[in-house]
Amino acid sequence: MTRGAESSTVGGAAALVGISVRTLHHWDSIGLVVPSGRTPAGYRVYSAADIARIHRVLVYRELGIPLADIARLLDDPDTDPQEHLRRQRTQLADRIDRLQTMLQAVDRMLDASGKGIQLTPEQQSEIFGASWRIDWVEEAENRWSGTPQWAQYADRAATRTTADWQHLAAEVNALNADLAAAVRNGVAPGSPEANTLAERHRAGISQHFDCTHAMQVCLARNFTTDPGYTEYYDAFHPGLNTWLQAAINANAQAHGVDPATATWPDQT
């Protein structure tokens, strides 16, 4: 066949379908899409039917089907082209739905990286109680933004529902009540009971980002230096902030961490 009004050179065909000339040469060499004709000078010429085949190859390739299997599908004489197109459309629609779901998840994560908790101030107060300070999230972002731990926190926060936050808040309140009871009952930091409570405290933090014993020690230093933490823990029992720091330090030491020299990751 010589070049006609509805035929394209390899360069024209590549530009028409949005792939490279090299790809068309490869498909020609393996017999996947062989141009129907040549120009008088011997150059490849793709007919309208060849272009249509290329489009079908692209659809199958987008679905992840290997090129060898695509060739068999296209050349099977018992294949109903319309039925294949219907199946292709269904598979593509399913893939679009999955990608749209992924896109929405990424959007939530991007939004969370700037906001943290995806709750209004009113919802935060209702869920976390009267002792909750709305500015804590902003302070945390200012202090930790750009760290891997903040990225973990933001990613996890992005997918949490109001019910998830309510469950987490209930766990925190239960822990604080048990901590206060331990102080009232004279539980000594470093005792098995105190170590169990310190581990529960670390597990609670680890629901937001992976927290090592050394990191927990670093966080606990704020309990006796930041008036906000003192006020928060005093609401459960006076002096709870000091006791909790001592319990965390003793538990960390039992796990081979020196509280005096513990540092945050990447911190010198």
**Residues forming a β-bridge with 45:** 9, 37
Choose one of 57, 79, 101: the last residue of a domain: 79
Token pair 């040549």 is found at: 38
For residue 196, give the CATH number of its domain.
1.10.490.50
Supply the mean pLDDT for the chain: 81
Share of the chain above pLDDT 70, in %: 79
For residue 17, give the CATH number of its domain.
1.10.1660.10
Residue 30 lies in a domain: yes
Which of the residue ranges 117-121, 153-157, 199-203, 214-218 would you say has the lowest mean pLDDT? 117-121
pLDDT, position 136: 53
Angle at the Cα of 126 from the Cα atoms of 125 and 129, rounded to 5 degrees: 65
Check pLDDT > 80 for residue 102. no
Which of 118, 203, 207 has the alpha carbon at shortest distance from 157?
A: 118
Q: What is the pLDDT of residues 174-218, one digit of tens each?
A: 999 999 999 999 999 999 999 999 999 999 999 888 999 999 999
Q: What is the mean pLDDT of residues 101-126?
A: 56
Residue 22 lies in a domain: yes
Question: How far is CA 221 from each of CA 217, 218, 243, 246, rounded to the nearest angstrom?
Answer: 6, 5, 12, 10
Residue 49 lies in a domain: yes
Choose one of 61, 79, 97: the last residue of a domain: 79
Note whether 213 and 252 are within 8 A (CB).
Answer: yes
Residue 50 lies in a domain: yes
Residue 97 lies in a domain: no
pLDDT, position 118: 53
Share of the chain above pLDDT 90, in %: 38
Pick the more confident residue, 117 or 188: 188
Burial class (CB in 10 A: 0-12, 13-18, 19+), 166: middle
Task: Retrieve residue 3's tokens.
Answer: 């070049």
Choose one of 64, 79, 94: the last residue of a domain: 79
Domain limits for position 25: 8-79
The number of helices, as runs of H, and strands, as runs of E, in the chain is: 14, 3
Residue 173 lies in a domain: yes
Residue 118 lies in a domain: no
Pick the more confident residue, 260 or 226: 260
Q: Could you give the number of structural domains in the chain?
A: 2
Residue 38 lies in a domain: yes
Which of the residue ranges 1-15, 109-123, 240-254 would you say has the lowest mean pLDDT? 109-123
